[in-house]
Amino acid sequence: MLDWLIIGGGLHGSHIALRLSAALPQAEVAVLDPNTHALTAWQRRADACGMYFLRSSQAHHLGLRADALRIFARQHGLTGCDHALGRYRRPSRALFEAHVHAVVAPVTRICATAVTIEPIAGGWQLFTRAGLTQRARRIVLVPGPPAPARPPWGKHLLHVLDDDFSQRYSTWSSKQHVVIVGGGLSAAQRAIACARQGQAVTLLSRHRLQQAAFDSNPCFSGPRCLQPFLRRPMAERPAILEAARNPGTLPPDIESELASFQDNGTIRYLQGVVRTIRDDGLQLTDSRHITADHIILATGFTTSAGELLEDIATRLQLPLDNHGYAAIDKHLAWAPGLYVGGRPASLQLGPMAGNIRGAQLAASTLATIANRSATTSASVVTP
């Protein structure tokens, strides 16, 4: 029986495993994930979007020290404006990924897909898709992002967040006209990437493009805003989360680069709402018609908690609201020995729950719990 099993071995799960192992060096800690590395799914999405720099600051990383990424950059010659962008020194993908490879190497990984869990004496039992089981005293649920969000008229269209996006996109001609539907960072980055490939691009969004340095109010990365947030009644927190997040926004560097492509005519930007899809393009609600050889959706993820958490909530009768947030306590516990991280933990971690900063906050909370549990166990004297 493992001491801690983290279901979800991406960036969040891997960082939590690192922090737990550091807090309890003798504990058996493992992550379970169908991918063989913490970066697998993250890199796939970053490649599809055409990401070069992270949106988060250099302080947000998977290392155990606050300055771990800065030190790593200096030691490996990954410094200067090629690897640190703007006043917040946003790291390049090359720097961030090299650092992740270095720090997650000690994490024990179990390559499998979780199907469900059930409580057993002294802990929990996990069932995998392959029919295997794994027991653990404590489980942390850190699911990856849910399914890509698709409008009703575009259920069959290629989405930039589809697992097979890059494979399907690679078959398209570089001379074709591509329409990208979406108004956020993924849409803008994909439009820029297509333009660099030589494609004619139309970027279509429902609302005008808006600038924001981060996708959430950075005040919530620390206690100044988090503590007042946690003092609010649970019923009021979803509205605070919505107000603090900046979905569908672009950081200044991407907005500037997109404007350059607009100026030279490579990217055309339109604002409008799609009524229906046609064989040769899109029909908008204001009767405009946009012709296209291909259409790409860049409309983000759904707000659900994901299939695994929804199944567990139903089977074990655990509270999960219609925003996809689990009703967990301040220790991130959903049930005794069962914890939640990532975006579903937003009611306790705040608007950055789904970001790298959210992984740091969750890992800190769980490491504190682990330390307290170990101290309590050590202080018990058996007659």
Residue 196: its H or E element: helix 185-196
- pLDDT category, 372, cuts 50, 70, 90? confident
- Are 114 and 126 in contact, with CB atoms under 8 Å apart? yes
* Closest C-alpha to 323, from 355, 341, 346, 357: 346
Contact call for residues 346 and 1 (beta carbons, < 8 A): no
Q: What is the pLDDT of residue 371?
A: 82
* pLDDT over 50 (residue 225): yes
Q: In the structure, what pLDDT confidence band is assigned to residue 383 with cuts at 50, 70 and 90? A: very low
pLDDT (tens digit per residue) in 9-53: 999 999 999 999 999 999 999 999 999 999 999 999 999 999 999
Strand partners, 120: 123
Average pLDDT estimate for 191-214? 95
In the prediction, which pLDDT does 174 show?
A: 81
The set of residues, in sequence order, having a beta carbon less than 8 Å from that of 316 and lying 6+ positions away, is: 118, 119, 335
For residue 380, pLDDT over 60 is answered with no
Backbone angles phi, psi at 353, to 5 degrees: -55, -35
Measured between alpha carbons, how far is 239 from 284 in angstroms, rounded to an integer? 31
**Are 197 and 174 within 8 A, CB to CB?**
yes
What pLDDT sits at residue 375?
A: 67
- Mean pLDDT throughout 161-189? 93
- Using the Cα atoms of residue 328, residue 329, residue 331 and residue 333 in order, give the sign of their dihedral: negative
Instruction: Output the average pLDDT for the chain.
Output: 94
How far is Cα 258 from Cα 267, in angstroms, rounded to an integer? 8
pLDDT (tens digit per residue) in 69-117:
999 999 999 999 999 999 899 999 999 999 999 999 999 999 999 999 9
The pLDDT score that the predictor gives to residue 376 is 61
- Mean pLDDT in residue range 131-158: 94
| Residue 379 scores a pLDDT above 70 | no
- For each of the domains in the chain, give its residue range(s) and CATH number, in order of start: 2-146+302-379 (3.50.50.60), 152-212+251-297 (3.50.50.60)
Which pLDDT does position 289 carry in this prediction?
A: 96
